[in-house]
Amino acid sequence: MEILRNISRRKLRSVLTVSGIVIGVLALTTMGAIAENFNALIDGGVKYFSSNVQVGPPDGQTASLLPISKIDEIKKVEGVAAAFPSYTFSAKPGAVSAVSFGFPDLIVAGDPEESNWSNLKTTFAQGHQIEPGSTGQVVLGSTIDKEFKKKIGDTIDLPVRPPDAKPDFVNHTFIVVGILNPTLTAPDTFAYLNTADGQMLLKDSLPSAIRDQIPVSAITESIDVYATPGTSIGELDKIADRINNQVTGVKATKPSVIVNSFKSGGAIFTAITTAAALLALVIGGLSVVNTMFMAVAERVREIGLKKAIGATTRHIMGEFLLEATVIGALGGLIGYGIGAVITILVNANTPQGQSTLFLLTFRLTVIALGFAIALGAVAGILPAWRAARLDPVTALRNQ
């Protein structure tokens, strides 16, 4: 009867210990998937902004527009290989922003050729790029396309008319010519237009009283400047300095400033999520240590008998380390499985138009399972050492 009770207690402790590991790995998986998703967004921003120099109005200038003629001046600066006008508008003006880790729906207008210069590459799931010199065409990112349920050849009105639109609100009908593959970053929520259509939307955004007085074809919101492909970010910083020194009425921002701001934000977020997950794992590791010490205390006689018939210290340590490692592996598999199911279900039920919250990656899978196994093994070292150091004669005499 006592033997049965001991076996029942061992099973209960093992279940509780595995549960501790499960909770820890579940936390690591879900929090890690949030961090992976956020880092994917950050990586997209780093890729894009590390390949160009952003040029806008000077600091303190009230007007947020630039003469498009500045592009010709900028192209004369040493190191500049290409420069493009850029226009950005809200795709859903007046919409209430939902809590999301992604980017808002935006209309981005410019020269389609610019995509050939950027480090952030996009590919087409359907259709093709906007035709040069065309008007009335749009390429949709994967997320915004799912939100509006569009396919090639469909039309979409942009910007989307808000329920409380003012009488002078204007939007236009565009034909969907391309749908992008998911990038897990900003382009997923973008609707891309040609330069002429961007200038048309710029005119629409002006007060109705002055719309016809502003030559929108002669102005731009910002200018994206590129050097030859492969130019280092340090050299791009120097190009930004030269633009500021040689071209009046503009402000070129060093790419390193933007990139570092992206990286610092990602590092802080990752540190917070990782710390929370590791805390849960440490608690699970302590439960393994406690269970294994209890197992040693209950199996003193068994250990003594094994050593009396020739079991070596190595064999005893190996037995207890294997048991602790199996506990860690079992808890890791269950915890990761539950975490994966949760992330998949939450992503599948993400409201249309919002970016998903989680991203499961191979790296995260390896980290979660590997950490659980390693945690079990490390947590079993001290109990295993204690079991291996037991004197067989003393162990048998005390039982």
Q: Are residues 214 and 290 in the same domain?
A: no
Cβ distance 386 to 319 under 8 Å? no
Q: pLDDT grade, residue 96 (50/70/90)? A: low
Q: State yes or no: pLDDT of 365 exceeds 90.
A: yes
Cβ distance 181 to 126 under 8 Å? no
With respect to residue 302, please indicate whether it lies within any of the assigned structural domains. Answer: yes
Compute CA 363 distance to the chain's CA centroid, rounded to the nearest angstrom.
13
Instruction: Check residues 384 and 356 and name the one with the higher pLDDT.
Output: 356
Q: State yes or no: pLDDT of 14 exceeds 70.
A: no
297 Cβ contact partners less than 8 Å away, ≥ 6 residues apart: none
Count of other CB atoms within 10 angstroms of residue 212: 9
Give the closest residue to 320 by CA, choosing from 383, 390, 376, 370.
383
With respect to residue 288, please indicate whether it lies within any of the assigned structural domains. Answer: yes
- pLDDT at 203 (0 to 100): 93
Instruction: Check residues 176 and 35 and name the one with the higher pLDDT.
Output: 176
Give CA–CA dist 184/356, Å, rounded.
9
With respect to residue 240, please indicate whether it lies within any of the assigned structural domains. Answer: no
Q: State yes or no: pLDDT of 9 exceeds 90.
A: no
Q: State yes or no: pLDDT of 99 exceeds 60.
A: no
Q: Are residues 37 and 111 in the same domain?
A: no
What is the tens place of the pLDDT at every residue in 47-60?
Answer: 999 999 999 999 76
- Dihedral in degrees, nearest 10, Cα atoms 165, 169, 172, 173: 20
Instruction: Check residues 391 and 260 and name the one with the higher pLDDT.
Output: 260
Q: Are residues 213 and 269 in the same domain?
A: no
DSSP type of residue 109: E
Q: State yes or no: pLDDT of 27 exceeds 80.
A: yes
Instruction: Check residues 380 and 50 and name the one with the higher pLDDT.
Output: 50
Q: Are residues 139 and 203 in the same domain?
A: yes
Q: State yes or no: pLDDT of 3 exceeds 70.
A: no
Q: Are residues 284 and 341 in the same domain?
A: yes
Q: pLDDT grade, residue 366 (50/70/90)? A: very high
Q: Are residues 7 and 110 in the same domain?
A: no
Q: State yes or no: pLDDT of 372 exceeds 90.
A: no
With respect to residue 249, please indicate whether it lies within any of the assigned structural domains. Answer: no
Instruction: Provide the domain count of the chain.
Output: 2
pTM of the model: 0.79
Q: Which of 23-32, 158-167, 220-229, 306-315 has the lowest mean pLDDT?
A: 306-315
With respect to residue 331, please indicate whether it lies within any of the assigned structural domains. Answer: yes
Q: Which domain holds residue 382?
A: 2-43+262-397
Q: State yes or no: pLDDT of 101 exceeds 80.
A: no
What is the tens place of the pLDDT at every residue in 241-260?
Answer: 999 999 999 999 999 999 99
Q: State yes or no: pLDDT of 38 exceeds 90.
A: no
Beta pairing, strands 172-180 & 124-127: antiparallel
Phi/psi of residue 20, each to 5°? -60, -45
